Structure 1
Amino acid sequence: MRRVTFPHMGESYRTFKMLLNDLGNEVILPPRPSRKTLNLGVQHTPEFACFPLKILMGTYLETIEMGANMIVTSGGVGPCRAGLYAELHKKILHDLGYNIEMIVFEPPRLYPFNFIRNVYKLNPARLSIKAIIECIKRAWRKLQALDNLEKATHIIRPRETHFGATTKTYKKVLEWVDEAYTTNQIVEAEKAALDDLSKVPQNPERIVLKVGIVGEIYVLLEPASNLEIEETLGNLGVEVERSMFLTGWTRDNTWKETVEGMTVKEAAEPYLPELVGGHGRDSIGNTILYAKRNFDGVIQMAPFTCIPEIVARTILTSVSKEYNIPVLTFFLDEQTGKAGMVTRLEAFVDLMKRKKLLLASSS
């Protein structure tokens, strides 16, 4: 019997679970990455491999132990080795003796027949094209709702009057969206969830810093890989705006690039006119846009050895000076500890607060 799994990336698993079930698959939910996950990945991947590859390897091994025999994942284009992850994972798993089938979705905007062929493979229920489109639309609406809830927590958490209230409420309302099935139910669940989040007691007088987060997609979207940096910043009184959400990334790679995406490229053009792979150029462009919007700082999140983000980091030094915006970079791997990250974040927040007070006193 077919048992399908996929990478764990934030709360998006709730959407993929619903869609794959609708198409007639038995879904093996990937567990939230843990130390066990990472240890498994490190054990079976090259030492120089980047962080997401190791986490995904561990996730696949855990889900195979749970009975999965098919993995659904994404590919990639351009000069970035992430596009080869699926093939490398498949080879490692086969060498370990696992007869696993790998379904790799390439960007539909560039490879439409790959998308159609893979959807057909994942449709054992033999739904009609019309029914498949309806399933995808509902899944898309649920993904939008999940992203909107997460964005709301970024605004509310730094203003909450009771420590942890936002996170507690967020975990509760996520289940409402998870249980919603029809489009109307999803819309109603999102509205009720946002309303409940808005009731978290807040201090409107509090001075809140605004920080943009840029970097590689996986370490941005999976809290376990970035050591819950957004929650930590919120608890330090910082409103976070992340440069990438799964809905935006999917839209840019499925239909056409958004106006926002083009604006990011235009912003980065004077510093990096060529695609270097991954999200390196986006990291530069988004940093410039955050500076133009008077953000207090920017944090770059990148896997250790990620060449596109290393290129971006060297350029961000100049961007930081020219636009007078502090930039803090974290290169993440299995050695990264949360205590050390929190210490650096506290110092960065103090620096931004001091700068903000100096600007306020001089004006």
Structure 2
Amino acid sequence: MRVTFPHMGNLWISLKAMLTYLGVPVVVPPPCNKQALQAGAKWAPEFACLPLKLNLGNFIQAREMGADTIVMAGGCGPCRFGYYAQVEHVILRDLGYDYHLVVMEPPEKHIGELLQRIKYITGQKSWWQVMQGIRFGFRKACLVDRLEKKAFYLRPREKRRGATEQALQAALSILDAASNWEELEEARQRAWQLLEEVPTVHRPVLRVALIGEIYTLLEPFANLELEKRLGEMGVEVDRSIYLSEWINDHLFLGLVRGMRSSKAFHQAALPYLAHFVGGHGQESVGSAVYYAGQGYDGAIHVLPFTCMPEIVAMGILPRVSQDTGMPVMSLIVDEHSGAAGVQTRLEAFVDLLARQKRSKGALA
């Protein structure tokens, strides 16, 4: 068995750590790229969203690298993501890619269904060893998120353009290389030090929240490196979703204390959207309210073309913007999105925010 999984930002570091810790052979696909997108878009249904197409491209490339088993998340509710694993598997089978599919999703009848799937992947490892592997992977997810947050702060303040990105990629490589707890603690210190050493200058910055669908928020290829582009424009960003927070909310049921929970976003959304609409639709509305309350200058709502929950949110966000006074821009992405068009829209939005802040005397 050689296991692969789809890319979603730096998720691969955590998943690879967990599986490797348990002795499971792993094939990490190449980072999302143009070739993967072209392959996925060629064979996927036309109106499927961008995540499905990129996942499909990841699996095609991983199969050519020797992978034979896919581990994929599942789900339930109005969002179409719940059946994407099965759709992708059928397409791959029709193309001659013989994969075994293991879908990690809420069990239909009893917890034994999920435990059986986990045991298929981990083999003869004891449940204690499995829990330690999950804990190791989660720890890496937490450290990755901490590094990303530090990079969000540094980018608009860096003295030399690109220094933060260079340090971040080196730090992530150090974390990835750690294979046990002792190495991970040493890697944590070295990785953090790399970012601490990035030279900065004091300058006024704008603060923009990135909200929306989880995949297009976390995967830089899908959002055309939105975080990096904004940072280089002098904007400090924050995301409404971080991987470790999502894991704690949805897999650990909030058992890890001291972490931000999406429950705050659900509560904030109630005056505008009082029920679940699938995916992260309700969270997108609530997070806009939340960040406005935190004094952010603006928000960018990122979503894949045809994403039903986020289309609902997009229809409500103009009212949230009007009520809170915080500008919100929606950015829809698919395989036809171009860097030049996105750059132009971002520059116009950032200019609007800067002029608005200057009019209040808050930006020198």
TM-score bin (small chain): over 0.9
Q: Report whether the alignment pairs 1:169 with 2:170.
A: no
Using the TM superposition, give the Cα deviation of residue 195 of structure 1 relative to its aligned residue in structure 2, in angstroms.
2.2
State the TM-score, normalized to the length of structure 2. Answer: 0.95
2:361 partner SS = helix
Out of 120, 136, 139, the position equivalent to 1:138 is 136
The whole-number CA distance in structure 1 between the counterparts of 2:214 and 2:110 is 20
Aligned to 1:279: 280
Summarize the alignment of residues 217-232 of structure 1 with structure 2, pairs less than 5 Å apart. Answer: 217-232=214-229
Q: Residues 108 and 18 from structure 1, CA distance in 2 versus in 1: closer, same or farther, beyond 3 angstroms?
A: farther
RMSD: 1.8
Partner deviation per Cα, 1:172-220 (whole Å, 9 max, x = no partner): 111211111222322332222222211211112x011101001111111
Instruction: Assess if the C-alpha contact under 8 Å between 1:105 and 1:114 holds in 2.
Output: no
Aligned to 2:232: 235
Please tell me the residue identity of whatever aligns with 1:192.
R
Aligned to 2:151: 153
Q: Report whether the alignment pairs 1:86 with 2:85.
A: yes
The whole-number CA distance in structure 1 between the counterparts of 2:280 and 2:150 is 24
Instruction: Assess if the C-alpha contact under 8 Å between 1:23 and 1:123 holds in 2.
Output: yes
Aligned to 2:333: 332
The whole-number CA distance in structure 1 between the counterparts of 2:261 and 2:108 is 17
Partner deviation per Cα, 1:139-168 (whole Å, 9 max, x = no partner): 111111111111110011110011111011
Of the structure 1 ranges 149-158 and 183-192, higher mean CA displacement relative to structure 2 is found in 183-192
Please tell me the residue identity of whatever aligns with 1:81.
R
Aligned to 1:129: 127
Partner deviation per Cα, 1:16-56 (whole Å, 9 max, x = no partner): 12222233322111111111101100111111111111111
2:122 partner SS = coil
Q: How many residues align?
A: 359
- Unaligned ranges ≥5, structure 2: none
Please tell me the residue identity of whatever aligns with 2:217.
L
Q: Report whether the alignment pairs 1:189 with 2:187.
A: yes
1:161 partner SS = coil
Of the structure 1 ranges 173-182 and 326-335, higher mean CA displacement relative to structure 2 is found in 173-182
2:360 partner SS = helix
Instruction: Assess if the C-alpha contact under 8 Å between 1:156 and 1:198 holds in 2.
Output: no
The whole-number CA distance in structure 1 between the counterparts of 2:34 and 2:217 is 18
Summarize the alignment of residues 252-271 of structure 1 with structure 2, pairs less than 5 Å apart. Answer: 252-257=249-254, 260-271=261-272
Q: Residues 259 and 341 from structure 1, CA distance in 2 versus in 1: closer, same or farther, beyond 3 angstroms?
A: closer
State the TM-score, normalized to the length of structure 1. Answer: 0.95
Aligned to 1:66: 65
Please tell me the residue identity of whatever aligns with 2:44.
T
1:348 partner SS = helix
Out of 184, 187, 197, the position equivalent to 1:199 is 197
Instruction: Give the percent of matched residue pairs that are identical in Structure 1 and Structure 2.
Output: 42
Please tell me the residue identity of whatever aligns with 2:143.
A
Aligned to 2:212: 215
Partner deviation per Cα, 1:233-280 (whole Å, 9 max, x = no partner): 000000010010111111111122577322211110111111110101
Instruction: Assess if the C-alpha contact under 8 Å between 1:5 and 1:72 holds in 2.
Output: yes
The whole-number CA distance in structure 2 between the counterparts of 1:111 and 1:230 is 41
Aligned to 1:297: 298
Please tell me the residue identity of whatever aligns with 1:203.
V
Using the TM superposition, give the Cα deviation of residue 15 of structure 1 relative to its aligned residue in structure 2, in angstroms.
2.1
Of the structure 1 ranges 333-342 and 104-113, higher mean CA displacement relative to structure 2 is found in 104-113
- Unaligned ranges ≥5, structure 1: none
